Chain A
Amino acid sequence: MSFQPYVRTDILPEQAPPSTASGPIAWMRENLFATIPNAILTIVAVYFIFSILHEVLPWVIKSSWAAGSLSECRDVIRETYGPDSTGACWAVIRERYLQLLFGFYPPFPGGEANGSVAVEGSMMAYFRVNLTFVFMLVAIAPLLFNSLPRKMIWFSALFPFLAFWLLWGGSIWPPLMVLAGIALGGVAYGVLSKAVSPLAGVIAALVTPVIWWLLLAGPVAGVLHGIAPIGILDVATDRFGGFMLSVIIGVTGIALSLPLGILLALGRQSDMMFIKAMCVGFIEFIRGVPLITLLFVASVLLNYFLPTGTTFDLVLRVVIMVTLFASAYMAEVVRGGLAALPTGQYEAADSLGLDYWKATRLITLPQALKISIPGIVSTFIGLFKDTTLVSIIGLMDPIGLTNVIRADTNWNGIVWELYGFIALVFFLFCFSMSRYSMYLERKLKTGH
């Protein structure tokens, strides 16, 4: 018999690594209990999370969704969960969420301007606001995504007029006439810059639209409306409210402040002493005072600075002040972008023989704007959050509406549900925007 050494002929199955090296235990060891202080931190954190959830969750869950008033809510909760239960009364959100989103905007704007009981079923509720919102996303898209066709920028340019008409309603002619003013300016530039001189062209391009808007646009729009009365029901701004108002103020403020901010940033970098002083003074003044004082100015002072007897809408006054406010911050963001460009870019532009405006328009500004997009987005987030301050001057933004809702005898005394809902919506808006801006930041970083 020959000696047969023991050799295993089949391979053993792989053993799982010891639990201390992989799997949940190892993970916990590494990430939660690596050192003693770390373990203490973990335990404190767990306790903290537990105690918060312990307080909040029962309140959120033991709630009532169907009730007509706060007292009814309380009764329902007591009946369902026992006599001592307290819980959230989400019924108020169910009843009022459309108001929190759209304010007093007529849901079916085929009906009466003032009556809320409008003709139902004629068109989708709030379609004008929703449509504007969708258009807004489409209009912003080409600015944010490079892959989209460049032609879409024309839609972005037309969007403000479209949005104005959709939201405010009325005759279609005034917005068209305003648009015509710009076209006139373009024509005047084209004709005069060839025929006389470029400078005359620029002056004509600035002056013609202003004359047109101030003197002719109104009457012409009136005449045209007489001939072809195309229009939709007009909605006054006293019916604007809720998150719709926040978005309107925020988006208009940021859109208008962008050109203003660019001019201010260029002015601040200019070597013309007086222009620079003016820009610095403006920026530092606006950045030095709280937004609320500017809103007070909008609500109580702005009329004093206009010719006696002129008044215009509070929402418009707020938009003006918000725009001025945002433009100062925007100017700083753009200035950061301009400063971050390598000097070589400026020098290269100079060496090509480009004049200041050409160099700015073609070389420096596009690059500076590209790198300041994250800054612009975060300015927008800040501005959007700050629109809540308009409630202090009596506009019906979501926080302003909480007062209206609480003035209703049915809902007097309700606090948490309303604030919670508003906070949640704000969070969703702002969080997604900030994530987007972080994504952009990463994308831009890989470029170098």
Chain B
Amino acid sequence: MKKTTFLGTVAAAALVSGFASAGTLDDVKAKGFVQCGVSTGVVGFAMADANGVWDGFDVAVCRAVAAAVLGDPQAVKFTPTTGKTRFTALASGEVDMLARNTTWTFSRDVDLKFTFVGVNYYDGQGFMVPKALGVSSAKDLDGATVCIQTGTTTELNLADYFRVNNISYEPVPIETNAEGQQQYLAGACDVYTTDASGLAATRATFEKPDDHVVLPEIISKEPLGPLVRHGDDQWGDVVRWTLNALIAAEELGITSANIGEASMKAGNNPEINRLLGTEGNLGEMLGLSADWAKNAITAGGNYGEVFEKNIGENTPIGLSRGLNAQWTDGGLIYTPPFR
């Protein structure tokens, strides 16, 4: 009796999802939303509020892509993924793109066959310790108990760092950031290590943030960015240039406030014109409408606005731009020209 539901559901699911065709872009346009893989919850980067609305720095990239492709920043469905399930979800086509603070590494790019379309946050692994311990450098951590968030590159960096410096440590692997924080605050570990942005975000929400310091050593390079499957360059280009459009908009001084005016008619700056589609046919080349970049920028603002709104200095997380400032301000954020 009930077994038929099973078959029915399978049939219905097969009907709904069908077989992924060659072009993700066409698929996305056909189904009317972008399926975006995010993390299950990282303060400031991806989190769902009481109404289930996702928000955050990584989420903004998904919304920008949805706005660029479909004209609607709300046309995104989010799939929360864990460190273990994220790559399979992308490889199997369950999600169209992954925006889940994922480090761009050689093996992920080459061996696991993903295309990292760019970097939206330059991060590095750091250490946080209570001030009371009186530690000023990671080299002083001989014999310390270190909480690590697993499922990432973190445990490998840590093992390498301590091995190179010939100091011993006791690793405590933790599944989620929330549990890591709990253990750290209870003193079950001396040190908490994860990406520096995560440390800052975690520290910001402590009852007494000033009792904790982030050590100066950054022991790894963690360029975080959105990624798509190998072999679908058209879709890869869409995501890559949507990210670049956000970056370029900041560089060119286009914000969500003045974009309406700037996109009305062609202005004096030809690059702005090309970007916003008032001149040239960049959108058409991508297979999108002419106002794709305008939509993407309107969705959540330019790169700088997204940064300030979600993780910037005025938020509880309070990250400074640092490496993530525009190249014109001495940072690494840099986009190829829109030409």
Taking Cβ atoms with an 8 Å cutoff, the residues of A that contact B are 71, 74, 95-96, 98-99, 103-107, 112, 114-117, 156-157, 160-161, 164, 168, 174-175, 178-179, 181-182, 209, 213-214, 217-218, 221, 236, 238-239, 241, 252, 255-256, 258-260, 296, 299-301, 303-304, 307, 309-314, 316, 319-320, 323, 392-396, 400, 402-404, 406-409, 412-413, 415
Contacts and interface: CB of A to CB of B under 8 A. Distances in A.
Nearest to A105: B52
Contacts of A303: 88, 92-94
15 contacts: A114-B76, A174-B12, A178-B12, A239-B52, A241-B52, A259-B3, A304-B92, A311-B20, A312-B10, A394-B80, A402-B178, A403-B178, A406-B178, A409-B315, A413-B181
Contacts of A252: 5
Given A238-B78, A309-B93, 14 more contacts: A114-B75, A160-B4, A178-B4, A221-B15, A259-B2, A309-B19, A312-B14, A316-B10, A323-B6, A408-B47, A408-B49, A409-B204, A412-B43, A413-B206
A407 B178 contact: yes
A294 to B, nearest CB: 14
A320 B3 CA distance: 11
Residue of A107, A116, A260 with most chain B CB atoms under a 10 A cut-off: A116
B88 A404 contact: no
Contacts of B43: 407-409, 412
Of all A-B residue pairs in the complex, the 7 with the closest CB atoms, nearest first, are: A104-B52, A407-B41, A116-B51, A178-B8, A160-B5, A412-B205, A303-B92
B181 A396 contact: no
A299 B85 contact: yes
Contacts of B92: 303-304, 311
B2 A392 contact: no
B251 to A, nearest CB: 29
Contact of A178 (B7, B75, B82): B7
Given A238-B78, A404-B40, A407-B177, A213 B11 contact: yes
Interface in B65-100: 74-82, 84-85, 88-89, 92-94
B50 A96 contact: yes
Size range of the chain B interface in the assembly: 35 or more
B42 interface: yes
Contacts of A103: 52
Contacts of B110: none
Nearest to A402: B178
Contact of B11 (A95, A217, A404, A412): A217
Interface string B125-151: 000000000000000000000000000
Given A160-B4, A217-B11, A403-B40, A114 B84 contact: no
Contact of A104 (B1, B5, B6, B48): B48
Nearest to B182: A415
Given A175-B8, A314-B94, A393-B85, A409 B316 contact: yes
B178 A218 contact: no
A114 B74 contact: yes
B33 interface: yes
A168 B11 CA distance: 14
Interface string B6-47: 111111111101011100000000000100000011111011
B121 to A, nearest CB: 17
B262 interface: no
B111 interface: no
A164 B5 contact: yes
Contacts of A394: 40, 79-82, 85
Residue of B17, B44, B84, B85 with most chain A CB atoms under a 10 A cut-off: B85
B2 A400 contact: no
Contacts of A259: 1-3
A306 to B, nearest CB: 9
B226 to A, nearest CB: 18
Contacts of A213: 7-8, 11
Interface in B177-209: 177-178, 181-182, 185, 202, 204-207
B17 A312 contact: yes
B235 to A, nearest CB: 15
A217 B14 CA distance: 12
Contacts of B33: 114
A105 B48 CA distance: 13
A112 B85 contact: no
B317 interface: yes
Contacts of A313: 13, 17
B3 A260 contact: yes
B263 interface: no
A446 B52 CA distance: 51
Residue of A104, A174, A309, A407 with most chain B CB atoms under a 10 A cut-off: A407
Given A178-B7, A413-B207, A218 B74 contact: no
A312 B13 contact: yes
Nearest to A107: B51
